[in-house]
Amino acid sequence: MADAIREHPRHDPNAGEIPVPHGPATGNEHGHYPETTPGGATDHERAIFSHLTRPDDLYTADGVYWADLPLGKRIAFVNKVQNEEAKRELSAIGSMIKADPLSPISWYFRNAVLPGAGLGLEGYVLFSIGNLQPLFASAWPECWGKHPTECSSNWIASVTYLEVIGIMVGQMAVGVIGDWIGRRWGLIQDAAIMFVGLLMITASWGLNLNGWVICYAWSLFFYGFGVGGEYPITATSSMENAVASGKLSTRDDRLHRGRKVTTAFLMQGWGQLVNQALLIILLLILHHGDGNPPYSITTVQWIWRLSFAIPAVGTLWLVYYRAYKMPHASRQLAAAKKKSNVTGYDLTSLRLTGSIFGGRLLATAGTWFCNDVFFYGNKLFQAQFIAVISDNPNSVLTGWIWNLYNVIVSLAGYYLASLLIDNKFYGRKMMQQVGFLMCFIMFVVPAFKYDYYTSPAGIKAFQAMYFLSSFFNQFGPNSVTFLVAGEVFPTPIRASAHGFSACIGKAGALLASVLYNYIDTPTKFYVVPWFGLAGMLLTWLFLPDTTGLDLKEQERRWAYIRAGRDSDYHGIAIHPKHLSLWERIRGVGKHYNPDLDIKQQIEDMREEWASKEWRRRQREAGGDATGANDDLEHDDEWSDQVHEYFRKTTDFGKTTDGNLGTGFGQPEKAKPEKVDDGSNEKRGSSVSSAS
């Protein structure tokens, strides 16, 4: 029986929903292909399908994959594609400006600001917590000072701990929800939780200061749950939005998928910038002075409550937008589940991911852990850094201004990351390795000469290294971990894998927040650098480079894995360029074969076509003309010639009345027929005779 499109029972009108063909296509009922050239596909088939199987942004005119080219030709090909794309985009921008000078701004708002709005609000609120602590310490030293007298020191510490734990719980839980119920549900749920959480934080109160701290801490935990969910949901929805359900990936997705996700993620940096700028403005307005202490309790109350009330308005709008303007956020997940015949959570995919992609999980989770020790550690001892380099370290305003400088430097790193993350010669893996290495250097150098770099003679160099560590953290692991934690995994468990990786990452933040309470500043510089070195090594060994890899191709490979036939896949998803060193050592790429893959791609497309064609004819046979062609809506790249080829070369098997009209039944087999090389004429009938 054919593996290409599996055999199904004839349709019984009383049997309920008709099962449809699924699974990777490999041949006819004898396990052999029609007569082909030695490459696996006929010249005629290559001519028809070349624009689908060999797009010109990945392959040369001779059909050679860019990563298979010699180095010199590879450089020339990649530069040619990138230069042509840059010219095309600049031309498009010029046309937009001619038609409407403000249209590029509205385009950026739709494609970057809106997808990343949740992360922007998250960045605003989370970093507001750290920014407000010096203000709280000035107004309530009996609680937030070094030696609290009216508040429990454990509850003061729990403000940070509960916030991070809430994020971790949200990342895991919403990752599973996003794969189980759907991306759209997760998006709406997160926005609603963050809105309620902001109301709780703004209105938090207590009978005494310690009661207020407890209320404040648990409100942050609740808000943190919604924030945690933003990580897997925003990453997966931004990534999948570029690839329409059931359709081939577009050229834009292949060339700019990383940029699309990263520009959404960098809204986190804008959230930090807006928060810090707003706090400075509120302090100058409400303090009625130069921003220096002392600060009245009334002023502090107004500042911190207003700083949380303002983003609540934006979050309420986000709830509306996601509920009414994002109806198709779960489309690709639904298509993947339909293809695998799964209705709930795909436990099979989860199990297979753990066994086959365990190295990738180690890479995404482990590097995120290392990065968050840096990222949150940087924030946690920022106050000590400012105390060293500032002329007026006791002023909250002075600290906030230095924070603002640091955020601006970080934003530059975010934007440079989005610019180069899709570059095939730099891309994800190299960017993360270089970022970790630079963070390691920027911390290990002052660690062994701390006294010199904190003295007047070395303070400028110390300042430069601190800002460079912020820059390379964004232009490196902080941006890349967010992208690859979803990109290297299949659609059915993408949000779960991303949520798990992010949760392990936040454990790094939790480690930093606990550890830094017990060691002094010089010791911190001895501890932190080694996480950068560990992150670089994990990236080098376990992380595959998905730069330029078509996500649709990864889904093809996953179909073979899920069918238990991973060794039968020969496409570019197992090209050595797109595998980790660990996977190459294990021999994952040994089945890569471009010639065999062409034939496979054609038969995989035939199966998709046959499945949809059969359902269309079933509806026509039942007299349902409404939407009869909906199932056969392919990507525009599926030319009439492709459809005609499949019509003439696909055998649907025996029907109830011997024709494909009324009474057309579920095909026993849909197999390729032999065709003349170079013509569209079949050697056999499109419908087999009754046996």
Tens digit of pLDDT for each residue in 458-510? Answer: 888 888 888 899 999 999 999 999 999 989 999 888 999 999 999 999 899 88
| pLDDT given at position 661 | 34
Q: First-to-last CA distance in the chain?
A: 15
- Over 80: is that where the pLDDT of 5 sits? no
Across residues 234-262, what is the average pLDDT? 73
Range of 64-78, 232-246, 335-349 with top mean pLDDT: 64-78
Map out the domains of the chain as residue ranges: 69-101, 107-542
Q: Which amino acid is at 84?
A: E
* Residue 685 Ramachandran class (φ > 0 left, ψ -120 to 50 alpha, else beta): beta
Q: What per-residue confidence (pLDDT) applies to 581?
A: 96
* Amino acid symbol at 585: I
pLDDT the model gives residue 30: 34
From residue 12, how far is each of 5, 563, 618 by CA, in Å?
Answer: 20, 26, 12
Classify each residue of 212-235 as buried b or exposed e, where b means 16 or more C-beta atoms within 10 Å of its C-beta. bbbbbbbbbbbbbbbbbbbbbbbb
So what's the pLDDT on residue 242?
A: 52
Q: Residue 391 is which amino acid?
A: D
Residue appearing with tokens 């489309």: 331
- What mean pLDDT comes out for the span 389-394? 67
Q: How far apart (Å, rounded) are the C-alpha atoms in residues 485 and 232? A: 9
Q: Which residue has the higher pLDDT, 595 or 294?
A: 595
Question: Which of 226-240, 499-513, 558-572, 648-662 bottoms out in mean pLDDT, i.e. has the lowest?
Answer: 648-662
On whether the 107-542 domain is CATH 2.160.10.10, my answer is no
Are the C-beta atoms of residues 170 and 179 closer than 8 Å to each other?
no
pLDDT of residue 674: 46
Q: What is the pLDDT of residue 378?
A: 66
Nearest-5° Cα angle at 422, 96 to 429: 160
Q: Rounded distance, CA 555 to CA 337, Å?
A: 12
Please state, as a whole number, how many other Cβ atoms lie within 10 Å of the Cβ of residue 404: 18
Closest to 226 in 3D by CA, of 303, 311, 150 = 311
Residue 3 reports pLDDT greater than 60: no
pLDDT in tens, 94-107: 999 999 999 999 99
How far is the C-alpha of 129 from the C-alpha of 302, rounded, in Å?
15
Give dist(CA 25, CA 3) in Å, integer. 6
Most confident of 28-42, 251-265, 472-486: 472-486
The more confidently predicted of residues 80 and 157 is 80
Long-range contacts of 45-50 (CB under 8 A, 24+ apart): 45/598, 45/599, 45/602, 45/645, 46/598, 48/639, 48/641, 48/642, 48/645, 49/598, 49/601, 49/602, 49/605, 49/642
d(CA 183, CA 229): 11
Q: Is the dihedral of CA 329, 334, 339, 342 positive or negative?
A: positive
User: What's the confidence (pLDDT) of residue 336?
Assistant: 75
pLDDT score, position 689 = 32
What pLDDT is recorded for position 409? 93
334 pLDDT higher than 90: no
Average pLDDT, the chain: 81
Helix (H) or strand (E) holding 672: strand 671-672
32 vs 375, more confident: 375
3-class DSSP assignment, residue 690: coil
pLDDT confidence of 287, banded at 50, 70, 90?
Answer: confident
362 is written with which tokens? 């180690």
Residue 291's pLDDT band (boundaries 50, 70, 90)?
A: low
Q: Are residues 273 and 407 in contact, defined by beta-carbon separation less than 8 angstroms?
A: yes
Separation CA 551–CA 536 (nearest Å) = 25
Summarize the confidence of residues 616-637 as an average pLDDT: 59
672 beta partners: 650
Q: What is the pLDDT of residue 12?
A: 38
pLDDT of residue 152: 86
pTM of the model: 0.82
**Distance (Å, rounded) from C-alpha 115 to C-alpha 34?**
47
Residue 297 reports pLDDT greater than 50: yes
